[in-house]
A and B are shown apart, each in its own frame.
Chain A
Amino acid sequence: MIKIQKLVKAFGYFPVLRGLDLEIGAGQFVALLGPNGSGKTTLLRILAGLSKPTSGTITIGGWSIPDEIAAVRQQLGIVSHQTLLYDTLTAEENLLFFARLYNIPTDERMDRIHALLNNVGLGARAKDVVQTFSRGMQQRLAIARALLSDPAILLLDEPYTGLDQDAAALLDELLHEVAGVGTSQRTAIMTTHDLRRAYELTTHVAILQRGKIGYFGETAVIHDLPALYAETVEAKTIT
Chain B
Amino acid sequence: MKKMSFVTPYWQVVGAVLWKDLRAELRGRELVTSMLLFATISVLIFSFALELDAQAQSETVGGVLWVTVAYAGTLGLGRSLAAEKDKGSLDALLIAPVTRSAIFFGKMLGNFIFTLMVAFVMTFLLTILFNINLFLPILWIVLLLGCLGFASTGTMVASMSVYARARETLLPIMLLPILLPVIISSTRASIAIITDLKVEDWLPWLQLLVFVDGVFIVMAYLLYGYIVEE
Contact = CB atoms under 8 A, between A and B. Distances in A.
B81 to A, nearest CB: 14
Contact of A82 (B15, B23, B87, B96): B87
Contacts of B20: 86, 89, 93, 97
Interface residues of B, number: 29
Interface in A43-74: 45, 48-52, 68, 70-71, 73-74
Contacts, number: 87
Interface string B193-226: 0000000000000000000000000000000000
A129 B27 contact: yes
B41 interface: no
B23 A89 contact: yes
B91 A50 contact: yes
Contact of A103 (B19, B92, B97, B229): B97
Contacts of A51: 229-230
A129 B27 CA distance: 9
A102 B8 contact: yes
Contact of A84 (B9, B27, B91, B97): B91
Nearest to A93: B23
Given A86-B20, A101-B96, A71 B6 contact: yes
Contact of A70 (B6, B13, B92, B230): B6
B194 to A, nearest CB: 38
B94 interface: yes
B16 A52 contact: no
B100 to A, nearest CB: 11
Contacts of A68: 2
Contacts of B97: 70, 73-74, 101-103
Contact of B230 (A45, A88, A101): A45
Question: What does DSSP make chain B's interface, helix, strand, loop or mixed?
Answer: helix
Question: What does DSSP make chain A's interface, helix, strand, loop or mixed?
Answer: loop
Interface centre among B15, B88, B89, B92, by most chain A C-beta atoms within 10 angstroms, is B92
B93 interface: yes
A85 interface: yes
Nearest to A78: B95
A74 B93 contact: no
A76 interface: yes
Given A52-B229, A73-B96, A86-B24, A103 B91 contact: no
B7 A101 contact: no
Contact of A78 (B7, B13, B28, B92): B92
Interface in B82-117: 87-89, 91-98
Interface of A: 45, 48-52, 68, 70-71, 73-74, 76, 78, 80, 82-89, 93, 97-98, 100-103, 129, 145
16 contacts: A45-B230, A48-B91, A51-B229, A52-B229, A70-B7, A73-B95, A74-B6, A74-B97, A76-B95, A80-B88, A84-B87, A84-B88, A97-B16, A98-B96, A100-B19, A101-B8
Interface of B: 2, 6-9, 12-13, 15-16, 19-20, 23-24, 27-28, 30, 87-89, 91-98, 229-230
